[in-house]
Structure 1
Amino acid sequence: MAENPSIKRVLMSVTDKTGVVDFARALVDEFGCEVISTGGTAKVISEAGIPVTPIDAVTEFPEMMDGRVKTLHPRVHGGLLAKRDNAAHMQQAADHGIQMIDMVVVNLYAFEKTVASGADFGTCIENIDIGGPSMLRSAAKNFASVAVVINPAAYEGILEEMRANGGATTYGTREALALEVFRTTAAYDGAIAAWLGTQLEGQGFAAKEALGLTKKQDLRYGENPHQKAAFYVRDSYKGAEHSLARATQHQGKEMSYNNYLDVDAAWAAVREYEQPACVIVKHLTPCGVCEDSNLVDAYKRAHECDPVSAYGGVMAFNRAVGGDVVQAVFDNKQFVECIIAPEFSQEALEMYSAKKNARLLATGGVNPAGGEVEYRSVEGGLLCQESDAVAEAADIAAWTVPTKRQPTAEEMDELIFAWKACKSVKSNAILIARDHASVGAGGGQPNRVNSARIAVEQAGEKAKGAVAASDAFFPFRDGFDVLAQAGVTAVVQPGGSIRDEEVIAAADEQGVAMVFTGHRHFRH
């Protein structure tokens, strides 16, 4: 067998028909290939005036059962799987009229898009591809002799290689194409299994989970220079259209491992707000959060919360970033590692082009907070959970006020903001807010009273007349007392401690209103 056999017979059956006509024409006109094709693909190629052999002319068996059966035939799979250097294989092929197929061009039914469209169960089942994966796997198994092309973006590169090699592909290319196939079919089967599991086993977590991941980039290093790292994108993800993983990077250095973690935290936090909002994050901790009617003011007030920590941090906006926002950042002389937003105006992009290292990421939109499954690794395994969101803020009538003093309408409005902002601070989290901006935050401490002290110290005089949120209940009154003595007038917390009465009594003693939400928002 020649190491790089020339391509003479090509089987094409594609769902994504991008570029397939031009590819087929080049194969026929430049290399004299015979093109075999199925159904809709054959029709498109034929209508373009390119000679095509229908699959049933090869199998001598009609396509049937609404296209469920058309390529599952020995004359197809024998032509793909036969070892060219095995005399017995080739003799058996000759005995049964099986001709070799040198290239397969196949991509699969759009199963995941069908599911995402909300199609009914029966339609989703019909969009489970059987013949496609079978041909791909057969061709990929025999990559020593067969080229298998699954991605339209590869067509031109394949043609260039054939032009340079007398109509042949190289072994290295076939090897790489085969690996891509097996990764693709594994992810495809995983997506089917995940969907079918929810249909047949209920909406809980599946007994087995297959995560399709595609490497987007190698990273320079991980959290520290001695750690290797890479970034993978989930192949199947409902929120992909506006996620960090799918965001467009307009400029700047490549994202680092720590950049991705910080930006993810900021993007998750800013999506809690309906009004224009800005979140500034440093080392996974929000150091400034503000919601305002004007995005520029939201940024300025978020920055005021902790200008020292904001320097060198990342920022997230839930509205398009214009030149006025960029000018405000420049006026503050703030160095920013990365900004993520739904989009950037042309003016904003031009203004930031002078700061070539700054990374600008556009998601194209804003997904609602929560509603997804998130994964975290532990040694030897993965933890998964539903992503967190402050959904209970949509029904504050269910919140309770156990203290003698009721919060004013203005305080309740501030408490809702503080409750949303507190969710994004590391536990044990305390956040102090006024005028829909954070003014002090403490988190990541082994006890809640220390978090309260840090938040109060950061807020300073701004704590007087402000409100505060605690992501979980106060186990003792000491943490609450720190807030009350600093001048906080209202506090929101989940409630549920065996010492709730002690904390309520402390609030009544000091004239502070307290609200119980009934929901905890730990962020470990």
Structure 2
Amino acid sequence: MTKKALISVSDKTGIVAFAQELEKLGWDIISTGGTKAALDTAGVATIAIDDVTGFPEMMDGRVKTLHPKIHGGLLARRDLDSHLEAAKSHGIDLIDLVVVNLYPFKETIAKPDVTYADAVENIDIGGPSMLRSAAKNHASVTVVVDPADYQIVVDELQAAGATSLATRKRLAAKVFRHTAAYDALIADYFTNQVGEEKPEKLTLTYELKQPMRYGENPQQHADFYQTALPLAYSIAASKQLNGKELSFNNIRDADAAIQIIRDFQDRPTVVALKHMNPCGIGQAEDIETAWDYAYASDPVSIFGGIVVLNREVDAATAEKMHPIFLEIIIAPSYTPEALEILTNKKKNLRILELDFSQQADSTTEKEVTGVLGGLLVQDQDVVAEDSSDWQVVTKRTPSLEEQTALAFAWKSIKYVKSNGIIITDDHMVLGVGPGQTNRVASVKIAIDQAKDRLDGAVLASDAFFPFADNIEEIAAAGIKAIIQPGGSVRDQESIDMADKHGLTMIFTGVRHFRH
């Protein structure tokens, strides 16, 4: 009995050559619409789908393959006489190979001007149904959804006249991943359309971006997956211009760095980061000076760190960065001279180019954190803050210079791991106390790092001070201005201590924990 293949693809990459090989092997090819036209034009003999079903395509192609003569041919078990007899009595020919890829729903909704009607029309119904039927019956039916698998199938058919069960299982698994991802995108699109904020089922889909040598530690396997709808302002979308492949820890650190610098769009800014914490932030009227300030923040911790700059890297800035051992540099662009300087004898330095103009679109994506047995999902901490809502709670109000420094410090504290303390002036970070189990320890670390540079310095805390001893420590160091969320039951004790030492203190009413 002549074997039959059903071919219906949106992505026609390689399909003509594949069909020609099937034809050489004596297969009959059933096809539909545009696929049939492409094969006919190439001289491949095809059978129209309506010649198989005895029913015309209708409703603008919405109904063409949803028919017992198609699905019976796919689902009939070859090891059950009852199935084969049913197929014979109803005139159903068995279909041994299905090659289908789906309407371009992802590509459609990715268009900035997509309409709801266009999105709906690009939801494939018949394609997933055929794929699932064929994949379910993989004991007998070969199903192909990816052009990359055409050659594997051809090789096995040429060698043995049939595909192996192992190959059919692998291809079936790929189909179910494919249809699940396809449905996940559709589910997400409609969930967003109706404004459902807490769906009872969370369907997420990602695509493999990069297999990794290992994860956080060498004993941990890891891979890097990208959102199915790529985010332009993301490490996954960056262009690597030089250096080794990014590691697991590189990607996490780089992601933290580009999130931090989003809050500093108004002026040339450089952020230096180490182990998910900023170790230096500098702002100036030009990127070279901003680098100077970021480097001066902590010349020790920046060693082996990550640097992100929000303006084009010029030769002068590159000359200053080149002698420093850095893991990654990220910027919107580089002059040819800067690239030449940075790559000179630095073949391992990872240099990334990223589209900073897309920063605003990156703030709406949810943060997803894995825990044993589940996921935590939350909005990003991108709340719009207005300094006019801040409250001066002490008797002394901040000077204009202090106000500027406090605003800079408040932006800078946001991504320091909690308990987080940061000391700055109006243009650079001076000391960072990250991730301690009590806040006074964080205060002491930040002060120690900023020592000898505390004249005119201000301090920010990511959350309230639970005890007045924190304020006493700050006052003893000579710092005269504090910004913090407030909200402790002991707030008045902190306020009284600040007044005792002549400090000015602002409550923002917003907490920025970062675990």
Q: Please state which band the TM-score falls in when normalised by the shorter chain.
A: 0.7 to 0.9
Deviation string 1:283-323 (CA, Å, 9 cap, x unpaired) is: 22211122333333323321221121111222333345455
Match of 1:270 among 261, 266, 270: 261
2:478 match: 487
CA distance in 2, matches of 1:116, 1:482: 53
Asked if 2 retains the 8 angstrom alpha-carbon contact of 1:326 and 1:352, the reply is: no
Partner of residue 379 from structure 1, selected from 372, 380, 399: 372
Match of 2:363 among 367, 370, 374: 370
Match of 2:304 among 305, 312, 315: 312
Could you say which residue in structure 2 is the equivalent of 1:279?
271
The reply to whether residue 336 of structure 1 matches residue 310 of structure 2 is no
State how far apart, in whole Å, the 2-side matches of 1:24 and 1:353 are. Answer: 50
CA shift in 2, pair 1:216/1:442, >3 Å: same
Structure 1 residue 523 displacement after superposition: 0.3
Deviations 1:51-107 (A, max 9, x none): 443322221212223322211112222222234455544443333333333332222
Q: For 2:222, what is the secondary structure of its paired residue? A: strand
Letter of the structure 2 residue corresponding to residue 79 of structure 1: G
Q: Hey, what does 1:303 align to over in structure 2?
A: 295
8 Å Cα contact 1:272-1:390 kept in structure 2:
no
1:205 aligns with 2:198: yes
Query: Of 83, 100, 103, which aligns to 2:97?
Result: 103
Q: 209-218 or 54-63: which moved more? A: 209-218
Q: Does 1:134 align with 2:129?
A: yes
CA contact 2:210–2:225 (8 Å) conserved in 1:
no
SS at match of 1:462: coil
Q: Deviations over 1:145-204 (max 9, x none)?
A: 433222234445655x3686377545444332222111111222233333434455x442
Q: What's 1:399 paired with?
A: 390
- How many residue pairs were aligned? 510
- Would you say 1:177 and 2:171 are equivalent positions? yes
Q: What amino acid is the match of 2:285?
A: S
Structure 2 residue matching 1:375: 3-state secondary structure: strand
1:65 and 2:59 equivalent?
A: yes
Q: 1:135 to 1:318 in 2, by over 3 A?
A: farther
Q: Identify if the C-alpha distance between structure 1 residues 380 and 69 changes in structure 2 by more than 3 Å, giving closer, same or farther.
A: same
Q: Contact 2:273–2:307 (CA<8 Å) still a contact in 1?
A: yes
Structure 1 length as normaliser, TM-score? 0.86
Contact residue 207 and residue 228 of structure 2 kept, 8 A: no
Taking the aligned partners of 2:392 and 2:273, their CA distance within structure 1 comes to 32
User: Paired residue for 1:151?
Assistant: 146
Work out the CA distance in 1 between the residues paired with 2:455 and 2:376.
41
Range that drifts further, 470-479 or 404-413: 404-413
Match of 1:499 in 2: 490
Hey, what's the Cα distance between the residues in 2 that align with 1:484 and 1:22? 77
Paired with 2:314 and 2:42, the residues of 1 have a C-alpha distance of: 46
Alpha-carbon distance in 2 for matches of 1:263, 1:149: 37
Map of 1:54 onto structure 2: 48
1:410 shift after superposition: 3.8
* Counterpart-to-counterpart distance in 2, 1:128 and 1:388: 34
Distance 2:313 2:5 in 1: 49
1:512 aligns with 2:503: yes
Q: Contact 2:485–2:507 at 8 Å: present in 1 too?
A: yes
In structure 1, stretches of 5+ residues that fail to align are none
The one-character-per-residue Cα deviations of 1:461-500 (angstroms, maximum 9, x if unpaired) are 2221022221112223332333344333432222222333
CA distance in 2, matches of 1:196, 1:221: 36
Cross-structure match for 1:389? 382
Q: Measured at CA, do residues 494 and 18 of structure 1 come closer, stay the same or move farther in structure 2, by a change above 3 Å?
A: farther
The two structures, once aligned, show a CA RMSD in angstroms of: 3.1
Contact 1:213–1:232, Cα closer than 8 Å, also in 2: no
Please state how far the C-alpha of 1:267 moved relative to its aligned partner. Answer: 2.2
| Identity across the alignment (%) | 49
**Paired residue type of 1:221:** Y
Contact 1:211 1:234 (8 Å CA) reproduced: no
Task: Describe the SS at the equivalent of 2:392.
Answer: coil
Tell me the equivalent position of 1:11.
6
Assess if the C-alpha contact under 8 Å between 2:258 and 2:308 holds in 1. yes
Change (3 A) 1:179 1:429: same
What's the counterpart of residue 402 of structure 2? 411
Deviates more, 1:215-224 or 1:490-499: 215-224
Asked if 1:460 corresponds to 2:451, the answer is: yes
Q: Give the 3-state SS of the residue equivalent to 1:61 in structure 2.
A: coil
Gaps of 5+ in 2: none
SS state at 1:174 partner:
helix
User: Aligned partners of 1:74, 1:387: CA distance in 2, in Å?
Assistant: 49
Equivalent residue number for residue 460 of structure 2 = 469
| 1:343, distance to aligned residue in structure 2 (A) | 4.9
163-172 or 336-345: which moved more? Answer: 163-172
Structure 2 length-normalised TM = 0.87
Contact 1:252 1:358 in 2 (8 A): yes
Kindly provide the amino acid, as one letter, of the partner of residue 337 in structure 1.
E
User: Could you tell which deviates more after superposition, 116-125 or 413-422?
Assistant: 116-125
Q: In structure 1, the residue corresponding to 2:444 is in which secondary structure?
A: helix
* Residue in structure 2 matched with residue 433 of structure 1 by the alignment: 424
